[in-house]
Amino acid sequence: KSKLEEMAIQIGEKLLPHLVSIVEIIGDCVDWFNNLDDGTQDLIIRMGLFGVALSPISGLIGNIFSASSSLATKLGDLAVKGVEATDGMQ
């Protein structure tokens, strides 16, 4: 247990300066946002929500195109095999 605690302390000592920097940056961003007028804050929030909503939709569209491409490739392969099969009959 003491070895685990010692390792946790060592990791914490390494991470603490970085965490402090991150917290300061986040604080600066919050201050900047709070100093904006209400309309600008609302616009930023709406744009963020739109981006969050758009992400899964674009993923779905990408999956549809990928499936369509795969289907088209398979149909093309099937057509080639059909042509090859009929060529052998002549």
Distance (Å) of CA 15 to CA 43, 58, 71: 35, 36, 50
Residues 23 and 62 in one domain: no
Domain containing residue 53: 38-90
Distance (Å) of CA 48 to CA 33, 43, 44, 58, 65: 13, 9, 6, 15, 26
Which pTM does this prediction carry? 0.51
Distance (Å) of CA 43 to CA 40, 53, 60: 5, 15, 26
Residues 23 and 50 in one domain: no
Residues 43 and 19 in one domain: no
Q: Is 25 helix (H, G, I), strand (E, B) or coil?
A: helix
Residues 75 and 50 in one domain: yes
Residues 85 and 73 in one domain: yes
CB 44 within 8 A of CB 33: yes
Residues 27 and 49 in one domain: no
Residues 20 and 42 in one domain: no
Residues 17 and 5 in one domain: yes
pLDDT of amino acid 90: 61
pLDDT digits 0-9 by tens, 59-88:
889 889 888 888 888 888 888 888 877 876
